[in-house]
Amino acid sequence: MPGHRKGEQPKQGHSGFRLVWPLAALLTALALATAPTAFALGVPGRSSDPVVLAGSQVTPLIGSEPDSVVAFAWDGSWRQIPVQIDERKIIDYGTIRQFTGTGRTFQGVGYADPSTLAGADPDPTLDADDEVALMAFDAGRSAWGKPDPAGTVAGSRLPVRIEDPLAPTNERFIYLFRSKGGLQPSAGQNYVEYEFALRNGLSYPADYNFAGTAGSAPSPRNNPEDSRVTTDAYELDFESRWITDDMRIKLGGANAIDILDGDKTTVGLTSCGRNEDTFRNGGGGFIANIDGPVRAIRSYTGANSGNHTQRDHVLYRSRQEMTSFLRVHPGIDNLLTAFDFSSAAVGMTYSNSVNSGSFTIDGVPDSPIPGALDWEQVTGPQGSMVNVTRTTTDIPGISSTSFYLDQTNVLAPHSILCSGDAHAYGASGPLAQGTGAYNTDPTRAEIDGSVYRFEGTRTTIFGPPQGDSSPGLRASQIDNPLVASTGGAADRPKEPVGRARLGLSVRPGAARLRPGRALTIRLTMRNVGGSAATRTRICVSAPRRFLTGGRCLSMGRVGAGGVRYRSVKLRLRRSGSYPRKLRVKAVASAAAVSPARRTIVIRPMRSR
């Protein structure tokens, strides 16, 4: 399907864990799990990652018609790959919401869309604030010194070097060109299909209720949709703004059944006063509905008195990035974003970075240790998903903890029941606390004296049954995204330089442990330097009076960019008394290299 860009109209119709592997084996398995069969090499272990360039990074192509920009990869010969240009512009949020009067709007940069009230970009060519989207699994080798592919304009070649900060030697390349006219940006591919459709044959914006309706369920639903995103990895259905009510995973033999009750967003845990159901019934509007060959974008605004609170879904072949922009008056706190699964998810398991074990989703209550989440994972025959949530804020003293509820009969009132069914199957996600005293609505600056920023992005990576053996690595990759550089000699292959340098991560970094119980510490050592490290090892030392299991693990030679995974099981001795905290030290070392150190804090708990 061609991308919805530059004056094209969107369609309104709708049709029907951890193994101790060497690095090479791990990256091969990850690539096979989620990458399509392709000529290009791809970036090892990054098959779900996009490569997104700002227009300002591709200055030689600025002023080009978007449909004239094409992309190629090289691996002994040229192969055209998909590229998507999404236009951005200054949008007026009052216009999006159809507000009248003064003092109720502001302007900011958002996605342009001629089919919404955001409107088309007044500059119809590629400009500095537009985005150029590609996929890491399409990248190839350096084509330094090779002739340009047929059908491209001479002198328009722009190399894009793609580097992985966690594996510096894994560099790959993509090449952008202007087409002579016979090539299409999609390269005949369509990784994502997004169909935006209002029910009953209604059209946007002509038939949309921007003001909203009063009340919540079972009140009439405002602006119902039958919108859907489909890839060969997953499907999502959107019933309206803020409501995702169907999720199917299709990778690696997953059974592709709907495992989702709802993607819940609530204010507080004990009331239905403000949640995804009241948000969708309240006023709001769409900024953009974009369907392209590389990604889909669904951007909307309006969440009750958070008039300009916004959510953007950016959807790739096996990954969704959902960003929420809080813009609301003071008094809104305890913000929960959680996947609440349906009974079809029974038998799957839930795990996170805080707890060393996993929990079966079965409607029977569990008691995981709460804490700030680095990652979450749900897996089973139905497929798997890794969720990584990160927050950007300047609100002082804000904190986050985890939420988990697996209970067939949930006692009301509980916000997880405000939409969907009357059960909680593995409902899980982060709970942000501490926003209540601060204004985040830019239209209230004169009233409240200041405007704070609070944005949260949840990245969901879909995978095959029985899960991703390295959810911690996924989190590290999201924290260390691929780096793209352009221009000049960007495609001249680099030679490894510099000394070896070790990095060490541990999971969990903190835990509670009862006497006699064991805790598995997962260790990841990376050589982030430019040459091989020799005689490497990881030593875990624990206070022997209280803990057993500390030891040293040898790993030999680790090449530049190499990764080694190990685990150590510690057991808390049965003792009459313990200090409040036990500190376990982990040290990664190698010959002639500075060691990398980490500390794990264990809090002894009383025996039951």
Query: What's the pLDDT score for residue 215?
Result: 55
Residue 51 falls within a domain, yes or no? yes
Q: Which residues contact 373 (CB under 8 A, 6 or more apart)?
A: 352, 353, 354, 389, 400, 402, 430
pTM given for the model: 0.78
Domain end position, chosen among 189, 220, 242: 189
Instruction: Divide the 608 residues of the chain into consecutive groups of 10 and give the mean pLDDT of each group.
Output: 38 32 39 43 93 97 98 96 99 92 85 98 97 98 94 97 91 96 97 97 96 66 94 98 97 95 96 94 96 99 96 99 98 97 98 95 97 97 97 95 96 90 97 97 93 98 87 95 86 69 89 88 88 93 91 91 90 86 93 92 80
Residues 308 and 419 in one domain: yes
> How many structural domains comprise the chain?
3
Domain for residue 494, yes or no?
Answer: no
Last residue of a domain, one of 479, 510, 532: 479
229 and 289 in one domain?
yes
Residue 307 and residue 168 in one domain: no
Judge whether 235 lies within some domain.
yes
- Short-list 190, 185, 194, 225, CA closest to 208: 225
Do 145 and 265 belong together in one domain?
no
Kindly state whether residues 336 and 282 are assigned to the same domain. Answer: yes
> Does residue 528 sit in the same domain as residue 397?
no
Q: What is residue 26's three-state secondary structure?
A: helix
Alpha-carbon distances of 237 from 196, 223, 285, rounded to whole Å: 10, 15, 18
Whether 484 is in a domain gets the answer no
* CATH code, domain with 295: 2.70.98
449 lies in the same domain as 515: no
d(CA 429, CA 594): 38
- Residue 306 is classified by DSSP as E
Find out whether 503 and 528 touch, Cβ atoms under 8 Å.
yes
Cα 37 → chain centroid: 23
In this structure, the strands spanning 502-507 and 424-433 are unpaired
Question: Where residue 543 sits, what CATH number does that domain have?
Answer: 2.60.40.10
Does 224 share its domain with 161? no
Percent helix, percent strand, percent coil in the chain, to nearest 5: 10, 40, 50
Residue 445 lies in a domain: yes
In a domain, 8, yes or no: no
Considering the domain architecture, whether residues 334 and 440 belong to the same structural domain is answered as: yes
Whether residues 172 and 270 share a domain: the answer is: no
The answer to whether residue 487 is domain-embedded is: no
In this prediction, residue 16 carries a pLDDT of: 31
Are both 319 and 447 inside the same structural domain?
yes
Residue type (1 letter), 33? A
What is the enclosing helix (H) or strand (E) of 198?
Answer: none
Structure tokens at 498: 């510099």
Q: 245 with 375, same domain?
A: yes
What is the domain extent for residue 548? 502-604
Distance CA 556, CA 537 (A): 7
User: Per the domain annotation, does 153 fall within a domain?
Assistant: yes
**Of 430, 446, 479, which closes a domain?**
479
